[in-house]
Structure 1
Amino acid sequence: MYPIAWAVVEKETTKTWKWFIGLLIKDLDINDQGAGWVFISDQQK
């Protein structure tokens, strides 16, 4: 496993997560609803 992306945001919110995931989908050209991809984060509540 290797980190492929990171971002600095003002606050960790649903909006910033959607933005980040949207960029990953676009940059990695992920198709088929993400079949075969696994996303792991260190997001904590």
Structure 2
Amino acid sequence: MYPVAWAVVEKETTDSWKWFIGLLIKDLDINNEGAGWVFISDQQKGLLNSV
């Protein structure tokens, strides 16, 4: 396990998580609705509403 990406945002919200996840999907070229990928975060504020 190793960190793949991180971001600095003004506030941790659902919108900032959606923005971050969208960039992550694009940069990692994730297809098939993410089949085979597992993402782990210890910072969940707003994350559950975003996925």
**Which of the five TM-score ranges fits, normalised by the shorter chain?**
over 0.9
Relative to 1, partners in 2 of residues 1:44 and 1:33: Cα closer, same or farther, differing over 3 Å? closer
Counterpart residue identity of residue 5, structure 2: A
Cα distance, 1:43 vs structure 2:
1.2
* Equivalent residues, number: 45
The structure whose RCO (Cα within 8 Å, separation 6+) is larger is: 2
Cα distance, 1:30 vs structure 2:
0.1
Q: Using the aligned pairs only, state the percent identity.
A: 89
What's the TM-score, normalizing by structure 1?
0.92
What residue ranges of structure 2 are gaps of 5+ in the alignment? 46-51
Cα distance, 1:42 vs structure 2:
1.3
Distance 1:21 1:9 in 2: 13
What's the TM-score, normalizing by structure 2?
0.82
Corresponding residue for 1:7? Answer: 7
State how 1:11-26 maps to structure 2 within 5 Å.
11-26=11-26
